[in-house]
Structure formats: structure tokens, C-alpha cells
Amino acid sequence: MSTSHGYSTIVGWAREAVVSAPTWPAAAAAAVTTMIPALNVDSGDGITIALNSSVEQGYGLASQDILAKAPTLRWTSALRYQGYEQILASALGFMARRIGATNMPETIAAGVFRHLIEVDPRLATSEAWAFGDGFRFGTEVNFGQRKVRRGTAAIARQVSVWEHLSTMVDRLTLTGSLERVTCEVQLRSYSLSRASAVNTAAILTALPLASAPQVLFRHGVLRLGTFSTVTPLGSGNEVGVTDWQLVIDNRLRGVPGPRTALAPEEFEKEGLAEITLAVTLPRYTSDQRFTDWTTPTVLFADLKMTGPNIPGTSTSYQCNVYFPSLVLTEVTSPVQGAQVPGMTHQATMRVPTAAPAGFPTMARLGSLAVELRSGQASHPLL
């Protein structure tokens, strides 16, 4: 008999097979191929039970019924410069095949590729690739081919492997602190099995660990300024922060239906995704952000994180986050004892009416874009 230990837990996730018609759930689980260096893991069966009483006897509850099964999974890991392309693309939802004449991912140099991941208003397989997405139909994708933004998650717990089928990213949180930059992923899934034939304990224990360098807090530079289509952000817009947090809340909803019995139907966004940014500054030195908040002033920002060189190249890893348009929703500077007061900003993202100066050309002018430069050559959604 095995006993579960946290230090022996193994987490993996892989995007599920591409389909050419709306499909839910996946016909088969995807085999995970890389171990995620998880710091903590929380998995739940998501069972809703109704406890029934009866007038026929007075001793207590008479029966119980399972009304729904909606498994969830959450893990936190140290963000790395490579290996997160698929999970980020599944969270945001979109990456073009071409932007103008530029193939995506773009080849920057031998062994160096640039991915630009953008927000899609829908995440279900009801969404097919379109001509405006930069594909050559019939060669690169088939007519009617769907965007698949779901995957299989597998957790080796020693006692058994917990396999979540058809997981979708409900919420993704990137947090920068002095210790590290972390990525917390919250998933909702179609089902949870502890008897996987695809992702077995032997397979998971043999997985290679994600080996790309960690994204560190000191790698990042945050710039914030008044929105402009003419003047790009510069060194004068750099904001020294003690920590920051980006939250992408897709607000997914899926309830049991006649076709799925107790399991949820395919998840979809309940309205627009909510994308927020919080930053903490070590010093209160200016009233400008209070003015921007109370006016309110439309701002734009970017967060650029640069790591070591990609192996075999002279080009650095990069993870850049672009905020084309935002407004501050709260600015505070609390006084706590005799220490120097700091300052906090809370902001929410908007969709700009025009492209901000200095930002990379986007296929869709949306509320957020994530740019990755790594050694990963394949498109994350194909």
C-alpha cells in the first residue's frame, strides 16, 4: 500500500486533440509529456449532494442524491520562460497564424521564436478558425477546424493518478514578489478519474521536469503612462514596485445538461473576462496617480521580463505583458506606524480604440497580450 506525500506529487497538463466540429468532452485524454514544477496542488471532485428527509419516519435524513459533478483543480508553480505557451494560450484563447506577412510564431533567429498570445471572447469549441486569423485553409488548417483551449491534467498521488479530462482555465494569476514570479492556474474540468489508462503512475514518474529558467522578480521592468498613439513608453515611465499581480478571470460557466448527465456541459465565459492588475510601490512620492484615478485618465502599460540567453543562441528569453488600455480603480497610501508610507494601484483593462504607440502589432486590438520569446517552435493551439 502506498501513502501519498506532498513532495512526491507530480503534476502534468497537455492540450487535447484538435477537432473539426464542436466537441465536448474530448474523445480521449491527452498524454502529458512534461512535469510541471508545482509548489502546491488542490484538486476537488466538485460533487453537489442533496440530502432528503421524509415525513414517513422522524429519525433524520432518509436518502441522498448526487445532483452534479463539477471537478476543479488548482496549482501554483514558479513561472518559467518556456513550457507555459499552451496553458497561457488556453487561458487567453487566441494566437494568430500570421499577422500581416509575419508567420507566428515568428522566427527571430536560429532557435528563437516569438509568440504573441491574445484574448479571445470565447473559449469553447463552438469557435472555429477564421480567414482573419492568418491561416491558409486546406493546408495549415481544415475548413471548420476548431480552436481547442482545453487540456488533460494528471496528478500522480502515489496512491493513484488523478486525471482531469477536458480542463479549461477559469482563472490564471501571475504574481511577482521578491522571492519569485509564480503562476497560479485554476481549472474546471468535465470529469475526474482515478483509474487512468493514458496517464499512468509509471508514465508520470518518468516525465522530464520543465527545465527552462525561472522568471525572477528582478528580471522585470514595469512601465506605466498616459495612453498615447504617438508617444511610446520610455525609461521615464518606469515604476519601481515591491510586488505586482495580474489576474485573468474568465468567469467560466457550465452546468449539467441532458447530454452530459451529472457532468457539466462545455464551459464558456459568462460575459467578458475580467483582467486586473495590482501593483505596490515602496514610496508615496507623487499625487499623479490619485489624479489619474479621480479624473479618470486612460493609461497604458507594459511589463517586460528578460532572462538569460536561450541555449545555443545570443538572444535572451523574454516574457512580456502588454496592457494597451487601462484605468485605475483604486489608489491608496495607508499610514502604518512610523514607517515610510507606500502606495498601491488597482487597475482594470479596457479595449483601446486605437493601437498604443510602441506596442507590437496585434492581430486583434484587445485588452491584453502576452509575448514570449523562447526556443518553442510550434504554435500552441495547433
pLDDT in tens, 133-146: 888 888 888 888 99
Helices and strands per DSSP (H, E), number in the chain: 3, 24
Q: How confident is the model at residue 114 (pLDDT cuts 50, 70, 90)?
A: very high
pLDDT over 90 for what percent of the chain? 79
What is the model's pLDDT at position 91?
98
Residue-level pLDDT at 315: 97
What is the pLDDT, as a whole number, of residue 318?
97
Judged by DSSP in three states, 217 sits in helix
Q: Are 324 and 301 in contact (CB under 8 A)?
A: no
Of 51-65, 241-255, 309-323, the one with minimum mean pLDDT is 51-65
pLDDT at 4 over 60: no
When pLDDT is averaged across residues 331-344 and rounded to a whole number, the result is 88
Look at the chain and count its residues: 382
Mean pLDDT over all residues of the chain? 93
Look at residue 2 in the predicted model and tell me its pLDDT: 63
- Looking at residue 62, what is its pLDDT? 72
Give the pLDDT score at 5.
59
Model pLDDT, residue 211: 85
* Rounded Cα gap, residues 19 and 77, in angstroms: 29
Average pLDDT over every residue of 104-131: 95
Torsion sign over Cα 162, 165, 169, 171: negative
Burial of 280-292, coded b for 16+ CB within 10 Å and e otherwise, reads ebeebeeeebeeb
Res. 246 pLDDT band, cuts 50 70 90? very high
Does pLDDT of 8 surpass 80?
A: no
Smallest CA-to-CA distance from 156 within 120, 82, 209, 112 is with: 209
**Tens digit of pLDDT for each residue in 287-336?**
999 999 999 999 999 999 999 999 999 999 999 999 999 999 999 998 98
On whether the CB atoms of residues 325 and 357 are closer than 8 A, the answer is no
Residue 341 pLDDT greater than 90, yes or no? no
Residue 339's contacts (CB-CB under 8 Å, 6 or more residues apart) are: none
If DSSP states are collapsed to H, E and C, what string results for 222-258?
EEEEECCCCCCCCHHHEECCCEEEEEEECCEECCECC
Q: What is the mean pLDDT of residues 259-282?
A: 94
